[in-house]
């Protein structure tokens, strides 16, 4: 039986309570995962707690090199995921990769719609993308939270399968269509040190940078920890 306490708002450092054995099911038993006697952190709790952190910008070295694989699937990872979801929500992002909050680990979160207008939320550790042999390309506006306020049409395969691990280290496979397909590819790129402009021509890059420059004053250096300004 899966047991965990359902609460709407948890302290930001919630997993440390798990480590201390202070998180108890109504029966008084510690909370464990269905995969074995391990502390348990379901997705809804990852979504319910966390601290909004500043988003790193293009040019920061952490965004331009491959990340280290996730090897520890415990409270430290869950704390990171809580903060990533909170930061992505504050920035109204479709997805956020760990290096975008300065952490050199191969994990991303997503919260966006698929082609059927279903809201999809989740995370993938150590992602690997599989595309069709002859993919159908979809061209749509795409931006990056690490260059806020700039968007350009980018052609990407309209379907992607992303395989990796969940927050417990269990194998998962996410099938993405619509914005989710784009997001899975964009975020996996981040974890390989590839940012969106690496797919663009020189003139497109200039256009993107120009767009960002025009609105950059609205984004404090520590956005979204400090909110966007309106001018
Ligand atoms: Zn991005």
Q: Please tell me whether the peptide bond between 64 and the residue prior to it is cis, using omega within 30 degrees of 0.
A: no
- Ligand 1 centroid to residue 147 C-alpha, Å: 8
Within a domain: 226: no
pLDDT at 169: 95
For residue 199, tell me if it sits in a domain.
yes
First to last CA, the chain: 53
pLDDT (tens digit, 9 = 90+) per residue, 170-225?
A: 999 999 999 999 999 999 999 999 999 999 999 999 999 999 999 999 999 999 99
Residue 145: inside a domain: yes
Domain boundaries, position 108: 11-218
pLDDT of amino acid 29: 46
Instruction: Please indicate, yes or no, if residue 142 is contained in any of the structural domains.
Output: yes
Q: In this predicted model, what pLDDT tens digit does every residue of 58-78 receive, in sequence order?
A: 999 999 999 999 999 999 999
User: Is there a domain that residue 3 lies in?
Assistant: no
Tell me the catalytic residues.
187
Question: 176 C-alpha vs ligand 1 centroid, how far in Å?
Answer: 17
230 located within any domain:
no
Q: Is 90 among the domain residues?
A: yes
Cβ count near 155 (within 10 Å): 12
- Residue 199 and residue 202: Cα distance in Å, rounded? 10
Instruction: For the chain, give the percent of residues with pLDDT over 70.
Output: 83
Whole-angstrom distance, CA of residue 118 vs CA of residue 139 = 20
CATH of the domain at 207: 3.90.45.10
Distance from Cα 108 to the centre of ligand 1, integer Å: 10
Domain count along the chain: 1
**Torsion sign over Cα 138, 114, 107, 62:** positive
Q: What is the mean pLDDT of the chain?
A: 87
User: Is residue 168 in a domain?
Assistant: yes
User: pTM for the complete prediction?
Assistant: 0.84
What pLDDT is stored for residue 38 in this prediction?
Answer: 52
């Amino acid at each position: 039986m899966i047991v965990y306490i359902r609460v709407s708002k948890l302290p930001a450092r919630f997993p440390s309570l798990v480590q201390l054995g202070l998180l108890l099911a109504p029966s008084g038993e510690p909370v464990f995962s269905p995969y074995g006697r391990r502390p348990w952190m379901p997705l809804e709790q990852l979504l319910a707690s966390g601290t909004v952190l500043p988003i790193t910008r293009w040019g920061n070295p952490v965004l331009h090199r491959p990340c280290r694989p996730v090897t520890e699937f415990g409270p430290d990872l869950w704390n990171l995921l809580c903060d990533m979801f909170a930061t992505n929500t504050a920035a109204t992002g479709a997805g956020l990769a760990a290096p975008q909050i300065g952490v050199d680990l191969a994990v991303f979160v997503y919260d966006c719609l698929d082609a059927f207008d279903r809201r999809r939320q989740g995370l993938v550790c150590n992602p690997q993308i599989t595309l069709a042999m002859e993919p159908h390309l979809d061209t749509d506006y795409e931006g990056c939270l690490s260059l806020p306020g700039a968007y350009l049409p980018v052609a990407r395969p309209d379907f992607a399968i992303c395989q990796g691990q969940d927050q417990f280290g269990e194998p998962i496979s996410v099938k993405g269509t619509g914005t989710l397909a784009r997001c899975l590819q964009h975020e996996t790129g981040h974890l390989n040190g590839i940012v969106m402009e690496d797919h663009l021509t020189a003139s497109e890059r200039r256009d993107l940078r120009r767009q960002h420059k025009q609105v950059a004053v609205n984004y404090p250096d520590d956005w979204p920890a400090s909110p966007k300004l309106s001018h």
